[in-house]
Amino acid sequence: MPGIQWDSQASLMRVTNFDTTPESREELLARGAMRELVGAFLEMPPSQQRGLLLRAAGPDWTQEFDSAAIRELAARPEYTGAHGAYDTADLSEDPDSREMEA
C-alpha cells in the first residue's frame, strides 16, 4: 500500500491470551474510518491501549497495526495535519502579526 488510506474502513480489536496460549481471542471494540479509530485509540488511557489491533482494508489490500504501529500512524503528518515548520514568511503582511511581535 503506497500511502495510508485514512478514510478506509477499519476495525479496532482487543486481542487477549495472545502471549499465553496458542488460541488468541479477539473482541471487536469499534468500527469506522481508519482516521477515527486512530483518534479513538489516542483518547484511551495507556493501560487500555495494550493488546489492541487496528485492521484496515480496501478493495485489494488488508493491513494490521499493533499498538506501537498505531502510535506511529498518529505521529504521521497526514494524520496530525502538520506539514512542516510553521511558515512565518507572510507574517509581515498579516495585521495580526504585529501583536505576535510585541
Q: What is the pLDDT of residues 46-73, one digit of tens each?
A: 999 998 999 998 888 899 999 999 999 9
Helix%, strand%, coil% for the chain, nearest 5: 35, 30, 35
pLDDT of residue 33: 92
Residue 79 CA to residue 17 CA, distance in Å, equals: 31
Q: Is 18 helix (H, G, I), strand (E, B) or coil?
A: coil
| Domain spans of the chain, in order of start | 9-81
pLDDT of 3 strictly over 50: yes
Average predicted confidence (pLDDT) for the chain: 79
